[in-house]
Structure 1
Amino acid sequence: MQRPEFDSIKDYTEFCKYYWYRDELIKICKAHGLKATGSKIELNKVIEAYFSGEKILPEKKKTAKKKKAVVKLTLDTGLIACGFTFGNMFREFFRQQTGEENFKFNVDMVATAKAVKESGDESFTLGDLLDIYYGKKTYATYDKSALQWNKFVKDFCADEATGIYSERLKAAAALWKIVRESDMKKEYSHDLFEKYKDIFL
Structure 2
Amino acid sequence: MKERRPDFKDIKSFEEFTRYYWYREELSKICKSLGLEYRSTKQELNHIIEQYFMGNRIEKSQRNGKKSQTEVVTLCTPLLECAFTFNQKFRDYFSAVTGVSPFKFNADMATAWRKVKAENDLNFTIGDMLKVYYGESDYAKYDNSVCQWNQFLKDFFLDKFSENYFDKLKVAAILWKEVRDSKNEKIYSRELLNKYRNKIEEYHK
TM range (shorter): 0.5 to 0.7
Q: Which residue of 1 aligns with 2:198?
A: none
Matches within 5 A, 1:171-186: 171-172=158-159, 175=162, 180-182=169-171, 183-186=173-176
> Residues 129, 172 of structure 1: CA spacing in aligned structure 2 closer, same or farther, 3 A cutoff?
farther
With the length of structure 2 as denominator, give the TM-score of the two structures. 0.54
SS in 1 for 2:118: helix
Mark the runs of 5 or more structure 2 residues left unpaired by the alignment. 1-12, 21-33, 37-44, 177-186, 196-205
> Residues 177, 90 of structure 1: CA spacing in aligned structure 2 closer, same or farther, 3 A cutoff?
farther
Deviations 1:56-99 (A, max 9, x none): 5796985732321322x221121111111111110011111221
Contact 2:75 2:125 in 1 (8 A): yes
Larger displacement relative to structure 2 (82-91 or 175-184): 175-184
Q: Which residue of 2 aligns with 1:90?
A: 90
SS in 2 for 1:97: helix
1:66 aligns with 2:56: no
Q: Which residue of 1 aligns with 2:150?
A: 149
Q: Which residue of 2 aligns with 1:21?
A: 17
> Quick check: which has more Rg, 1 or 2?
1
Mark the runs of 5 or more structure 1 residues left unpaired by the alignment. 1-15, 25-34, 47-55, 157-168, 196-201
Q: Which residue of 2 aligns with 1:115?
A: 115
Cα distance in 2 for partners of 1:139, 1:64 equals: 28
Q: How many residues align?
A: 146
Contact 2:35 2:59 in 1 (8 A): no
Cα distance in 2 for partners of 1:104, 1:190 equals: 36
> Residues 57, 111 of structure 1: CA spacing in aligned structure 2 closer, same or farther, 3 A cutoff?
closer
With the length of structure 1 as denominator, give the TM-score of the two structures. 0.55
Calculate the aligned-residue CA RMSD, in Å. Answer: 4.0
SS in 1 for 2:16: coil
Detail structure 1 runs of 4+ shifted over 4 Å in the superposition.
Answer: 35-38, 56-63, 172-179
> Residues 174, 94 of structure 1: CA spacing in aligned structure 2 closer, same or farther, 3 A cutoff?
farther
Contact 2:70 2:82 in 1 (8 A): yes
CA apart distance, 1:175: 4.4
Q: Which residue of 2 aligns with 1:45?
A: 54
**Identity score, percent:** 30
Higher RCO (C-alpha 8 Å, min separation 6) = 1
Matches within 5 A, 1:125-144: 125-144=125-144
Deviations 1:81-121 (A, max 9, x none): 11111111100111112211121111110111121123222
SS in 1 for 2:74: coil
Q: Which residue of 2 aligns with 1:29?
A: none
SS in 2 for 1:102: coil
